[in-house]
Structure 1
């Protein structure tokens, strides 16, 4: 079996067939159990995720029904012995028991990529980061997560995805793939105009491509966007890079500088 939570929730059986839930409440119940796999999730936590601060009168009974239906769903997806969801005195535990889980895979690829990056193995680092990015298929639960824990998890996934993108850009830059990086970052800045790290990366790669004037224009664009949208000046690292470009600081020519 394999669980996939980095996007629409999917469960795959050993033959590779995908199984999905059509009922949103059941989907949220399974997602909550997956977030705390191996640990107890209390009935109160499930109620909070499913109905926030306005649960129905028979919320506990509804949770019991959802869990019963989930056990049947998981049995059809490969949990023949019904061991995936275990009832405890204080709540419920979802045991992976060797099942694949894309969140664990993503985190392991990020750790591997960072280790390669730190050691200067940029091709291997880029391969790990690209594999990690492929695991993120879209917003968690198609963007329908509303409970406090699921919403926080969805925010964490998006932030980790953006960090992974930044790291992949650093690896490409270190490999000298400047034209590719410029195209990628131009699109990312359009999509995420308030993320200063993308401006920083684009300024640096433009400078290293002997396009100093364009790098300075990127800074002015970032400055205008941040002022108009947030009423803020660029962060310290962006201002330092701007000054270094103005003075053609030789440190900018070093691999991975900035």
Structure 2
């Protein structure tokens, strides 16, 4: 069985998916999963559920949510996890159950190791498998606004989002190195739309377009990032982007690399 929190929280057993309809119980489960195997204090749980606006009977309310969570886990007959009361709060023992947010960084780490060894063809399936775990914002929480959670969920969601961006960047780098520049173009346009301040994606898109015989489009991308950075931050593009723009203007043939032969390992 797998707990899936790389998107709206749910429990998956084969093709069967179970969700918790009560938002506060869902928050409690999310926090306990983030800290699986470690005690989460009552004060920490209450801050995640209610923030600074604690109701009078917050402790009693939290006990009710824990009871509901235990019933939910018990109803999932294949679940090996359990919630233990341990001072000063509670701890979730996941047993043999998986958590997708633990699997994701392991896959990213494996892909990163292959990339450092210049085994790009081996890195791609690891990175693609890692990204395929995502179904939306982590914990169904996009951050900010009145729906924002406490520091545990917010901090974990931010870390996961950054790890996902690194994974996407590494995957694009692998595709460019392997000569899959035409396939990378659409993905990079989408990534820029979602992350307009991340210069690495603009650099990769410019290179992908240039290698796809779309020199003018590559230069338009530079003008786009320059305007975005100037309007939002009063900044000019960084040196890597400036150097790439000059190389494209000069028709630098060294940018047109021949894709390597896959190692087949």
Q: Does the alignment reach a TM-score above 0.5?
A: yes
1:58-77 alignment runs, 5 A limit: 58-77=57-76
User: Which residue of the partner structure matches residue 125 of structure 1?
Assistant: 123
Residue 192 of structure 1, CA deviation: 2.5
Change (3 A) 1:255 1:153: farther
Residue 150 of structure 1, CA deviation: 0.8
Residues 179 and 258 in structure 2, CA contact (< 8 A), matched pair in contact too: no
> Which secondary structure state, in structure 2, belongs to the residue aligned with residue 85 of structure 1?
strand
Change (3 A) 1:255 1:117: farther
Structure 2 gaps of 5+ residues are: 142-146, 260-265
CA root-mean-square deviation? 2.2
| Matches of 1:35 and 1:189, distance apart in 2 | 29
* Structure 2 residue 234 is the aligned partner of structure 1 residue 231: yes
Residue 120 of structure 1, CA deviation: 2.4
Cα deviation 1:29-73 (Å, max 9, x = unaligned): 000001111111000000110011111111111111111111111
| Matches of 1:174 and 1:194, distance apart in 2 | 23
Residue 204 of structure 1, CA deviation: 1.9
| Matches of 1:243 and 1:149, distance apart in 2 | 45
Cα deviation 1:103-157 (Å, max 9, x = unaligned): 1111111011112222222222111111111101111332255222212222222
Residue 86 of structure 1, CA deviation: 1.0
Structure 1 gaps of 5+ residues are: none
User: Which residue of the partner structure matches residue 49 of structure 2?
Assistant: 50
* Structure 2 residue 66 is the aligned partner of structure 1 residue 31: no
1:98-117 alignment runs, 5 A limit: 98-117=96-115
One of 159, 175, 178 as aligned partner of 2:178:
175
Q: What TM-score comes out, normalization by structure 1 length?
A: 0.89
| Matches of 2:246 and 2:94, distance apart in 1 | 51
Residues 182 and 209 in structure 2, CA contact (< 8 A), matched pair in contact too: no
Residues 196 and 222 in structure 1, CA contact (< 8 A), matched pair in contact too: yes
Residues 117 and 125 in structure 1, CA contact (< 8 A), matched pair in contact too: yes
Which has the larger displacement, 232-241 or 147-156? 232-241
Residues 121 and 178 in structure 2, CA contact (< 8 A), matched pair in contact too: yes
User: Which residue of the partner structure matches residue 88 of structure 2?
Assistant: 90
Residues 145 and 154 in structure 1, CA contact (< 8 A), matched pair in contact too: no
Aligned pairs, number: 254
| Matches of 2:219 and 2:134, distance apart in 1 | 33
Q: What TM-score comes out, normalization by structure 2 length?
A: 0.87
> Which secondary structure state, in structure 2, belongs to the residue aligned with residue 92 of structure 1?
strand
Residue 11 of structure 1, CA deviation: 1.4
* Structure 2 residue 14 is the aligned partner of structure 1 residue 8: no
> Which secondary structure state, in structure 2, belongs to the residue aligned with residue 135 of structure 1?
coil
| Matches of 2:29 and 2:59, distance apart in 1 | 16
One of 217, 221, 230 as aligned partner of 1:218:
221
